[in-house]
């Protein structure tokens, strides 16, 4: 004979099974936040734990579909730690530089850049991706198919938004005012896009990929296309371009594209389609949403702010330029006369050869100790021991140089959408 308590528990399970929305309302006393339930639907235990930020010891007692009370508030940054939120519809949030200090960016500190509305379903068991277009054998694959039919690899890969650094343009360029934190280097596990395309058999007419995801246009208007970008076939066939199903050894965070996404390191983050449902192999440059006009494109010459630029004078932004970030000390920290300075440096399709530090506004520079990348597409960690001659205010400047000898500039020319700003990072410190 079950105790009352057990019966009550069974009733709750039934209730959630019968009517999850109603049960949710009963629990929270109001209509659930529009995105909250969809956001959690299909979330496995690992995702749920990542989002509440802890293991859930009694998870076996949780009715299926229960939304943890931790999410009762409209906290769109659940499972994230210390990110700066710019917008919540769509969600856009960057990581303060000092929280990017880890060699591998924890999921909780990986930035979020959404253009549209989240997909309603993110169920890994039901997910499918279609490879079609200019291929001999079009295929539709589940995540299990990907795991079983291809070599599974884990790589540390940089995703940086094309608009990272936009906040430093003067006059301001419109869009999210990213400072330095629209970048991260997580460990991504998945299969090589190259292997999947090879199995599908590229036709000689294949020139570009077109990526599609399950998110929808922000307006809710089904006739409007969500973001869909692509890359030249050569880039798609690079060893470090992955179709990923794990982020840092766990389920991908819902905001970072669960359960399946592309990771195209070193190119504008927009190439790394989240909630991936299709790779359409094209016989021309992909013409999806945000491939044309001024989206992820730069004028082919320096232009004055406000200057009219003809469509044909724009070129697609491909690899991202040489860049670095100082992750320690934190901006405005008080430090001792001897301090370790550290951070990361990265560049699209090249490697970093040198990282120099200045504490005297660029008059003299000291070499930092720079690590090799752990794999191609990873950022490179660096550190330097810095001595300050006396108490006072200093700025630490960091300047990376890539394998072609290209160095980060003090400032870059303005461009209409504020892309690819790789000017040096500066951190203020006071020596006490």
What token pair was written down for 158? 């940089």
- Supply the DSSP string of 202-240, one letter for each residue: B-TT--EEEEEES-B-TT--TTSPPP----BHHHHTSTT
Near ligand MTE in 92-111, by CB under 6 A: 110-111
- 5 burial (CB, 10 Å; 0-12 / 13-18 / 19+) is exposed
Residue 272's binding partner out of ligand MTE, Mo ion, none, with CB under 5 to 8 Å set by partner kind: ligand MTE
Binding-residue pattern over the window 396 to 415 for ligand MTE, x denoting contact by CB under 6 A? --------------------
Query: Strand, helix or coil at 166?
Result: helix
Among 40-48, 57-65, 268-276, 417-425, which window interacts with ligand MTE (CB under 6 A)?
268-276
Residue 379's binding partner out of ligand MTE, Mo ion, none, with CB under 5 to 8 Å set by partner kind: none
Residue 215's binding partner out of ligand MTE, Mo ion, none, with CB under 5 to 8 Å set by partner kind: ligand MTE
* 273 contributes a contact to ligand MTE by CB under 6 A: yes
* 275 contributes a contact to ligand MTE by CB under 6 A: yes
β-bridge partners, 299: 314
* 213 contributes a contact to Mo ion by CB under 5 A: no
CB atoms within 10 A of CB 203: 12
Instruction: Choose between 161 and 193: whose C-beta lies nearer to ligand MTE.
Output: 161
Q: Are 80 and 95 in contact (CB under 8 A)?
A: no
CA gap 245, 145 in Å, rounded:
12
Binding-residue pattern over the window 270 to 299 for Mo ion, x denoting contact by CB under 5 A? x-----------------------------
CA distances from 354 to 190, 382, 401 (A): 31, 9, 5
Exactly one of 43, 78, 122, 161 binds ligand MTE (CB under 6 A); which one? 161
Residue 257's binding partner out of ligand MTE, Mo ion, none, with CB under 5 to 8 Å set by partner kind: ligand MTE
Among 58-66, 114-122, 337-345, 372-380, which window interacts with ligand MTE (CB under 6 A)?
114-122
Exactly one of 106, 259, 269, 343 binds Mo ion (CB under 5 A); which one? 269
CA distances from 190 to 47, 102, 232, 267, 424 (A): 17, 22, 21, 18, 33
Instruction: Choose between 275 and 394: whose C-beta lies nearer to ligand MTE.
Output: 275
CB atoms within 10 A of CB 271: 24
Residue 83's binding partner out of ligand MTE, Mo ion, none, with CB under 5 to 8 Å set by partner kind: none
Binding-residue pattern over the window 115 to 144 for ligand MTE, x denoting contact by CB under 6 A? xx----------------------------
CA gap 343, 98 in Å, rounded:
9
**By beta-carbon distance, which residue lies closest to Mo ion?**
161
Exactly one of 112, 167, 185, 427 binds ligand MTE (CB under 6 A); which one? 112
Q: Are 341 and 384 in contact (CB under 8 A)?
A: yes
Exactly one of 36, 80, 109, 113 binds Mo ion (CB under 5 A); which one? 113
Binding-residue pattern over the window 243 to 262 for ligand MTE, x denoting contact by CB under 6 A? -------------xx-----
* 420 contributes a contact to ligand MTE by CB under 6 A: no
Instruction: Choose between 113 and 399: whose C-beta lies nearer to ligand MTE.
Output: 113
425 HSE (CA, 13 A, CB side): 28
| Nearest of 312, 300, 298 to residue 416 by alpha carbon | 298
For the chain, the distance separating the N- and C-terminal CA atoms, rounded to the nearest angstrom, is: 71
In the complex, minimum distance from the CB of residue 158 to ligand MTE, in angstroms, rounded to a whole number: 11
Exactly one of 161, 191, 258, 322 binds Mo ion (CB under 5 A); which one? 161
In the complex, minimum distance from the CB of residue 407 to ligand MTE, in angstroms, rounded to a whole number: 25
CB atoms within 10 A of CB 18: 9
Near ligand MTE in 176-215, by CB under 6 A: 213, 215
> Treating both helix axes as pointing N-terminal to C-terminal, what angle do 20-28 and 4-18 enclose, rounded to 10 degrees?
120
Q: Are 419 and 320 in contact (CB under 8 A)?
A: no
* 227 contributes a contact to ligand MTE by CB under 6 A: yes
Instruction: Choose between 159 and 197: whose C-beta lies nearer to ligand MTE.
Output: 159
Torsion of CA 385, 386, 390, 396, to 10 degrees: -150
| Nearest of 210, 257, 261, 262 to residue 241 by alpha carbon | 262
Residues of this chain that interact with ligand MTE (CB under 6 A) are 110-116, 159, 161, 213, 215, 227, 256-257, 269-270, 272-275
Binding positions for Mo ion, rule: CB under 5 A: 113, 161, 269-270
């Amino acid at each position: 004979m079950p105790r009352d308590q057990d019966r009550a528990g069974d009733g709750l399970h039934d209730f959630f099974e019968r009517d999850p929305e109603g049960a949710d309302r009963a629990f929270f006393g109001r209509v659930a936040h529009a995105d909250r339930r969809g956001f959690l639907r299909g979330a496995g235990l690992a995702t749920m734990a990542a989002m509440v930020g802890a293991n859930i010891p009694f998870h076996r007692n949780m009715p299926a579909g229960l939304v943890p009370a931790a999410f009762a508030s409209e906290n769109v940054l659940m499972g994230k730690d210390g990110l700066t939120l710019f917008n919540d519809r769509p969600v856009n949030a960057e990581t303060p530089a000092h929280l990017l200090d880890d060699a591998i960016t924890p999921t909780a500190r990986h930035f979020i850049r959404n253009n549209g509305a989240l997909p309603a379903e993110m169920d890994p068991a039901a997910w499918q991706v279609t490879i079609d277009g200019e291929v001999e054998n079009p295929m539709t694959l589940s995540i299990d198919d990907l795991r079983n039919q291809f070599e599974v690899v884990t790589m540390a890969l940089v995703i940086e938004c094309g608009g990272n650094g936009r906040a430093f343009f003067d006059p301001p360029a419109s869009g999210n005012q990213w400072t330095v934190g629209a970048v991260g280097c997580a460990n991504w596990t998945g299969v090589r896009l190259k292997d999947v395309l090879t199995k599908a058999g590229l036709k000689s007419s294949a020139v570009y990929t077109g990526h599609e995801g399950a998110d929808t246009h922000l307006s809710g208007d089904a006739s409007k296309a969500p973001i869909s970008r692509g890359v030249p076939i050569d880039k798609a066939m690079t060893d470090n371009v992955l179709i990923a199903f794990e982020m840092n050894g766990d389920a991908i965070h819902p905001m970072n594209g669960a359960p399946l996404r592309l990771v195209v390191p070193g190119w504008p983050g927009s190439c790394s389609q989240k909630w991936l449902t299709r790779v359409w192999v094209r016989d021309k440059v992909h013409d999806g949403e945000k491939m044309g006009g001024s989206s992820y494109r730069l004028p082919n010459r320096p232009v004055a702010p406000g200057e009219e630029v003809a469509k044909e004078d724009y070129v697609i932004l491909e690899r991202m330029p040489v860049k670095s970030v100082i992750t320690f000390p934190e901006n405005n920290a008080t430090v001792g006369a001897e301090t370790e300075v550290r951070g990361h440096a990265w560049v699209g399709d090249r490697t970093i050869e040198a990282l120099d530090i200045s504490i005297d506004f660029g008059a003299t520079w000291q070499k930092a100790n720079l690590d090799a990348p752990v794999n191609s597409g990873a950022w490179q960690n660096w550190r330097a021991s810095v001595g300050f001659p006396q108490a006072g205010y200093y700025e630490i400047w960091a300047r990376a140089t890539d394998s072609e000898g290209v160095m980060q500039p003090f400032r870059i020319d303005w461009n209409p959408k504020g892309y690819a700003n790789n000017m040096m990072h500066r951190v203020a410190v006071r020596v006490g």
